[in-house]
Amino acid sequence: MEDPAQAFLLDVLKHRSASPCPDTQPYVTLSFAQSLDAKIAGAHGRQLILSGKESMIMTHWLRTMHDAILVGIGTALNDDPQLNVRYLPHPPETPYNLPRPIILDTDLRLSPTCKLLQNYQNGKGRRPWVICAASDDATPKPKGTSASTTTAETTSTGHHQYHPSEDIDKLLRKRSLEEAGARIIQVPTSQRRNVQGHADGTASRHLSIPEILTVLRDLGVRSLMVEGGAQIIRSFLAEPVVDVVIITVAPVLVGKDGTGYESPVVSLPAEGASPSQRRFVQKATRVFGKDAVVVLEAVTGGQSV
């Protein structure tokens, strides 16, 4: 017999089984848990278990329904997640689909001893893919985010140059991650001033989401579940790439110091919004234990995408 959460998700995602995945990018599901005041973590990014048991099981069913799960390096370093499906009931005759973990990690800051790599080494998880900036990427880094020992210098023409030891540091980190089992995938970066801009007005240097999706589709990923954290949620919502958003709303308030994601998109037709902008409308809502799970689907100009 189907679990209620499994049945609910199969129903909200049934349009995917009816039509083949596009060639250009995977189906993208953005899913996370938030408080009533739209916080996904505590002060300074402290991990919070917002989901109750029932909605956490729903999240693990959702994981089985995707080829891959993506998180940002902030989440990988802060939470050391496993991204597996361990809360599901007794193993069935056919093993559950275990999604591939993918980490967006511009400068390869991931720890080679993280749980995702340990699980892979112990045969308990799929090989993690770590997506970083292409090695010939000359985009300047924002202040204070360099993971290497070297600083960028600005030339008289305004271009930034890197000391060779920065490349060596990154190469060494690449090698130790590969030795631990990670597959490293390089993509170009893009600059976004408004979405992840720094307080000092400089633009952030981030991996390009459309490029990442193209690469993943080329590598055979047909469905991608994006779990967060805050910056990743913002970046995915800022691009017209998310098909379905599934939010677990926990009946708690975290307060103003909590970590929020401040969505750059709106559901309601906003004054001045471009008609081609992707908006999200409610498709289904279900209570699991103490939590409400709200499913939104993308629409462009009034049509489901």
- Report whether the peptide linkage leading into residue 123 is cis, meaning its omega lies within 30 degrees of zero: no
Q: Is 25 in the site for ligand LIKH6CAM (CB under 6 A)?
A: no
Neighbours of 196 (CB within 10 A): 18
Reported as type and span, the H/E element at residue 63 is helix 53-64
Contact 142, 83 (CB under 8 A): no
Cα 169 from chain centre: 26
| β-strand partners of 103 | 71, 130
Residue 101's binding partner among ligand NDP, ligand LIKH6CAM, none (Cβ under 5 to 8 angstroms by kind) is none
Listed residue (271, 69, 106, 102) closest to 192, CA to CA: 106
CA distances from 91 to 40, 52, 94, 95, 121 (A): 30, 21, 8, 6, 21
For ligand LIKH6CAM, which residue of 83, 180, 209, 232 counts as binding (CB under 6 A)? 83
**Does 291 participate in binding ligand LIKH6CAM (rule CB under 6 A)?**
no
Q: At what angle do helices 4-12 and 53-64 cross, to 10 degrees?
A: 50
Span from 2-10, 42-50, 233-241, 265-273 in contact with ligand LIKH6CAM (CB under 6 A): 42-50
d(CA 195, CA 204): 9
Our finding on whether 119 is near ligand LIKH6CAM (CB under 6 A) is no
Name the residue among 116, 11, 27 with its Cα closest to residue 73: 116
291 binds, among ligand LIKH6CAM, ligand NDP, none (CB under 5 to 8 A by kind): none
Q: Is 57 in the site for ligand LIKH6CAM (CB under 6 A)?
A: no
**Residue 105 near ligand LIKH6CAM by CB under 6 A:** no
Distance CA 41, CA 260 (A): 7
Smallest separation (angstroms) from ligand NDP to the CB of 93: 31
Considering CB distances under 5 to 8 angstroms, the limit depending on partner class, which of ligand LIKH6CAM, ligand NDP, none binds residue 74? ligand NDP
CB of 34 to ligand NDP, least distance (A): 6
Largest CA distance in the chain: 69
Rounded to a whole number of angstroms, the minimum distance from the CB of residue 166 to ligand LIKH6CAM is 29
Binding partner of residue 207 among ligand NDP, ligand LIKH6CAM, none, CB cut-off 5 to 8 Å per kind: ligand NDP
Stretch that binds ligand LIKH6CAM, among 79-87, 192-200, 252-260, 294-302 (CB under 6 A): 79-87
Closest CB 253 distance from ligand NDP, rounded Å: 14
- Binding of ligand LIKH6CAM at residue 232 (CB under 6 A)? no
* CA nearest to 133, candidates 204, 61, 238: 204
> Which residues in this chain contact ligand LIKH6CAM in the complex, by CB under 6 A?
33, 47-51, 56, 59, 71, 75, 79, 81-84, 227-228, 248
